[in-house]
Structure 1
Amino acid sequence: MNSELQEKISEVIGLDLSDFHTYTYDGDSYWLGCEITQWLGLSNTTQAIKAKIKFPSFRMEYIPHVNENRRVHLLNLNGIIQVIKKNRNTRTRILQHKLDAAGF
């Protein structure tokens, strides 16, 4: 997705993605799933992402400085939106309403 769309979505949900670690694979930007789910107030990254989000919106990669023992979840912008829409807590419900009002 282009940076203009990223800025619009970031503005709508109040998320500054520059505050998070960014990784690029195949020309797409991905953010650490654990950081995004923590920001959303979700306690279990695997449950919040893996059972609900499909590739290519998320991917698993081995990043040694994040976790030496196993692969970590990475989300692209579409994956972040899906995590918000498919999880239920107070923060995600508020963000769901904001995304719906903005047409996402």
Structure 2
Amino acid sequence: MNKANNQPLTAQEQAELANLAAIPDEKIDYSDIPATTPEQWREAEQGRFYRPVKQQLTLRIDADVIAWYKSQGKGYQTRINELLRQAMQEEIKRM
């Protein structure tokens, strides 16, 4: 997915990414930016500043499902979103 416009990558974009991924590390020119060391990444946090854009929509979900999520306390919409994201990521891995 092209994150800039939420569109699938074109064949050309996929080919460019495949070509870049095929370049061995030894062939990458780090002369203008030296490679980082494992020590520099030791305390890094993945996704710390990433905040996906939210989109408001109307969604029909079975009443008993919503009642159960609401019974679990505040944040039920966030929990539903997290489960949907997990399902999406698992599906992407299988592709």
Shared fold per TM-score greater than 0.5:
no
For the aligned pair, the TM-score class normalised by the smaller chain equals under 0.3
Q: Give 1 or 2: higher strand fraction.
A: 1
Give the greater-gyration-radius structure (CA).
2
Structure showing greater relative contact order (alpha-carbon pairs closer than 8 Å, 6 or more residues apart) = 1
